[in-house]
Amino acid sequence: MSDARFETAGTGSDILLDGMFTTQAVSAALDDQARLRTMMAFEVALAEAEAALDIIPVQAARHIAFCARPEGINVPALAAAAARAGNIAIPFVAAFTAMVARENSEAARYVHWGATSQDVIDTATILQLQEAVMAIRADLQRLEQTLAGITKDHIGTVLPGRTWLQHAVPTTFGLKAAGWLTAVTRARWHLEAAVAQASCVQFGGAAGTLASLDGRGIEVAAELARRLKLGVPPLPWHTLRSDLAACGSALGILCGALGKLARDLSLMMQTEIAETLPPGGKGQGGSSTMPHKRNPVGCAIALSVATQAPGLVATLLSAMVQEHERGLGGWHAEWQTLPALLRLTSASAAQMADTVEAMEICPDAMRNDLGKTRGLMMAEAVSMELANRLGREAAHHLLQQLTRTAVKRNVTLDTVLREDDRVTAILSPDDISRLMNPAGYLGNARAFCIRALEAWRNGGNEECS
């Protein structure tokens, strides 16, 4: 695992923590230079679209494109001006116009022609969202590939199933991995669908009518969208924030799915369980005082993210309630919230991909754990067999008595079963041996693993039936 993705992430404002709670790729997609780059991409595409439609001079569009260099913007000065203006677009347009004016004063007249501040900010947000999600997707696919391999390799590796944190009935490690794979994959599909739905240009002018373009606004919007490889919405979405909120919700669901994986693995990595072991190595998961420690660091990050994400999603949902044609405050609440959610999601995806790739899987510990309840987890198997003769309620009640006897006497359930006349009248010694074998009571575990792998390979094209 290369740690460079984490070490160099961040904008400098909180770089010590950014190293844990974002990745380099997503930070690069969301930093100041990326924001300026995508805002300039909007302005260039707008000028080129309007030139192609003979609304502004072609030469003006060429000068605007030539001057679109983010490094030419004084970021600290822009930040100070944004604090006074209430958004970054107003001073950005002024600064960019000045850059063009230095090249060609006539061309500068046509910068931002017919657009408004929200058009450039929202469209830039969508472009950054797409780039950030593509980076997250790469780590998710790496994670999914590893989980799919575990599902296949451990399709028959038996371990205790646990309900309410107690041993229940046997399951397989392959089926557990299939569950993690399904949760992460479906969350990724949901996120990709939400981003695809939201990937529309924002272009509405001052109040969503594009009146300044003399009836040609829809033409310009279509050409602008084509150049940015975005969709064209039915109308401007200045205060219609459902698609953006859906992206935030999808990110929150993904963080929850990754948190589920992290919770299960961290529980399995406990010293008393040790069915899996955290990645080890110099500087990874150690303790400042205890040389022997091997902590599940990736799980800790993913669980932290899963704890933080719901509040950020709630902010995006609250920000949907925006006033009339252009909102006051709700729109502003999205600017830091969505990037924060993307950064956190990226950290969780990368950390869990690294964890699952490098963790140790311990089938011997899983096998040993099967015996910790001394056969009690097979009580349901025996009960269901006896139910064919005694009825479900009577068989269940009998096994409750016998399991308590086994615990009280500190013997195996197998021992008690072989001594009880009510059981031996129905079940032979061979029957009891068969029913006490965890590998013989796995139901459809193998089939579920196969179905999960098929659904993953089909890329989400199968509906629930």
CA distance linking residue 91 with residue 87, whole number of Å: 8
Of 47, 48, 46, 96, the residue nearest 72 (C-alpha): 96
The CA–CA distances, whole Å, from 52 to 211, 216, 231, 232, 322 equal 19, 12, 19, 18, 34
CA distance linking residue 224 with residue 49, whole number of Å: 5
CA distance linking residue 434 with residue 429, whole number of Å: 9
Catalytic residue among 242, 287, 318, 404: 287
Active site residue 288: no
The helix (run of H) or strand (run of E) holding residue 166 is strand 166-172
CA distance linking residue 438 with residue 429, whole number of Å: 16
DSSP letters along 190-239, please? HHHHHHHHH-B----TTTTS-GGGTT-HHHHHHHHHHHHT-B--SS--TT
Catalytic residue among 62, 226, 263, 326: 326
Active site residue 142: no
CA distance linking residue 139 with residue 155, whole number of Å: 24
Of 312, 319, 320, the residue nearest 348 (C-alpha): 312
Q: Which residue numbers are catalytic? A: 287, 326
